[in-house]
Amino acid sequence: MANLQDYLNSDYIRNLRPFSTDRTRMEVLVYVEGDDDVEFWEYALNQYGDSTKYKFSVKTNKGASVGGIAANGKEQLMRIANLGPHKIVCADADFDLLIDAYSNYSERIRRDRYVVHTTCYAVENILADVPFYPSFFQSLGISAQTTEYEEQLKWISLTCLDLFLLLLSFANDDSHHRYFWLKDFAACLNTISCHTL
């Protein structure tokens, strides 16, 4: 039995345009990994959508039940089929751009023109990037100097870079003899507090 999602393809969305309230712009249905990603991708895509001919409608992939399963997450997102100019998915790059065959969908993330991804690991990396801070502080109504945070982020990045690259080189290693995994490294990073630097 066919799933309704099988018929919700790019052509179907394009054919709905005559019934749209805004016929000047083309509707693009965008699926993202989770609820936290909706706001980021709306902001990122609408920078282009308002000034061009596209109107982006960003939803979590819970709305795209695949195989009768409605759930969030990158793996579920990568199962969505029938993509095209009017139906795309947006995801975090994670390690799929750095490590060959990191996941079952690494090649799709790299090659599918209708899979849009972050250029770094995740949305959180973009939000933690130094150029983001001035606008972030301004939106909070804080008039703080960002140079202190820039220096701390740079120090943390340079301190951890070599260890991160070493662990990354072992990411696909199935050896159980390693005592320190990439997950352990992430846990260590989570213990860093800017108050103690």
Residuewise pLDDT in 10s, the chain (197 residues): 556 666 677 777 777 777 777 777 888 899 998 888 898 888 888 877 666 688 889 998 775 555 555 556 888 889 898 899 999 999 988 877 777 787 888 899 899 999 998 877 666 666 666 666 677 677 777 766 667 767 777 777 777 777 777 776 666 666 655 556 666 666 666 666 655 55
Residues whose CB falls within 8 Å of the CB of residue 45, separated by 6 or more in sequence, listed in order: 28, 30, 54, 56, 58, 90
pLDDT at 46: 81
Confidence (pLDDT) at 88: 94
How far apart CA 26 and CA 139 sit, in angstroms, is 31
Domain ranges of the chain: 1-123, 128-197
> Other C-beta atoms within 10 Å of 8: how many?
16
45, 102 Cβ separation under 8 angstroms: no
pTM to 2 decimal places:
0.64
Nearest to 79 by CA among 40, 115, 120, 128: 115
- In this prediction, residue 112 carries a pLDDT of 94
